[in-house]
A and B are shown apart, each in its own frame.
Chain A
Amino acid sequence: MKILLAEDTVDLNRALTAVLQHEKYDVDTVLDGQQAADHLDVDSYDCIILDIMMPKKDGITVLKELRQKNIITPVLMLTAKAEVEDRVTGLDSGADDYLTKPFAIKELLARVRALTRRKTNYGTDELKYNDLSLKSDSFELGCENTVRLSTKEFELMQTLMINQGRLLGTDYLLEHVWANDDNSRPETVWLYISYLKRKLKAIASSVEITGSSSEGFMLK
């Protein structure tokens, strides 16, 4: 697990590097924004910790540039207490989380763990619900039999599995699965729910989708 740490306060930088290395992370340490950008051009990381106030190039600029290059690595911003605007700008520019100075080292480590865990969970894991499994690398929905889902079927199934026990309304699904794209309508949601209902039956799963277009849908 490789981390890029950009922090211009030498003492803090040194302390954080030591703690992260102690936790078995592979750490690249830099003291200004330009060096951070240079490292990002040649290397890839599992997590990036960026201070906002840095010489040569500030953290927000580094962040905006890396998101423009489609680097999706989780970013944790370090901000001073007064910088409310910076925190908002940071999150809006693509940061995943922030931490206000002064902070407890324990909390920083927990946030780094959370950010890197999220990536592995979304990328490779297999979701399970009762007798059902959904593989995100192959879009395979399985119980006794298996079927391969289309992209939207997969995303809808994933959303239902992540939100088990909660009724998800048609509007919520249009917003979260179809990102409100122009061609999607409430009927689209109903059709895709119908596809999944049939496919659940075809793989001989005991899981069903209950609910209706008006009250919302959930797994049961």
Chain B
Amino acid sequence: MDIITIGNDSIYGDKMPALENACAVLSQHISDIRNEMSSQLGMDPVEHYLTRIKGEESMREKCVRKGLPVTQESALCVIKDAIGVRIVCAFVDDVFTIRDRLKASGRYEVIEEKDYINHAKPNGYRSYHMILKLPEGFFAEIQLRTISMDTWAALEHHLKYKKEISADSELIVNELKRCADELASTDLSMQTIRDMILEQ
């Protein structure tokens, strides 16, 4: 039913069904990891996760922004987030466990990893980013983070597109950084409490 996008207009061209299929397979794999961990931990490690194929407009815009020709080749081989997955966990340790499981499965080639959790961006942004090459040949960008990291990113994203903020922007940037550091601290406290409960 999603295959209607095939046509002359699609930047993904005739690869769209294969792309959607690869996305579904990846999604199923994450779901399997989630179920396995649920039975081991006795609690679901994943709060929610989203998969998406980058929209036509957004992908064309990105090609232009990067100075690339607007072609299927650019969209699928040069740009590496045609498939995007965001996995949001309740606890910070689960982020790393899921990362380890994905890598250990041997299904994917890890193209790039960025650990913005242990190495937060100067503005306070925290998240774990990975670019994987899927067995089907497509690339996928995986973002792993906790609920509080996700909440923070949502507000920061919202702010970025509010151009009119200027006078107080420094104050807001500093305050957002403070919130990120407080949330990170709370994440670690919650993790410590969970460890203490699980030990008993």
Contacts and interface: CB of A to CB of B under 8 A. Distances in A.
B63 interface: no
Contacts of B182: 147-148
Contacts of A179: none
Contact of B119 (A140, A149, A198, A204): A204
Interface string B7-33: 000000000000000000000000000
Number of contact residues on B: which range applies? 10 to 19
Interface of A is mostly: mixed
B58 interface: no
A81 to B, nearest CB: 53
Contacts, number: 44
Interface of B is mostly: helix
B185 A150 contact: yes
B90 to A, nearest CB: 16
B177 to A, nearest CB: 8
A199 B185 contact: yes
A150 B190 CA distance: 13
B79 interface: no
A148 B185 contact: yes
Interface of B: 117-120, 178, 181-182, 184-185, 188-189, 191-193, 195-196
Given A145-B118, A145-B181, 11 more contacts: A146-B120, A147-B181, A147-B182, A147-B185, A195-B192, A198-B188, A198-B192, A199-B185, A199-B188, A202-B118, A204-B119
Top-8 shortest CB links A-B:
A147-B185, A148-B182, A198-B188, A148-B181, A145-B120, A194-B192, A147-B181, A146-B181
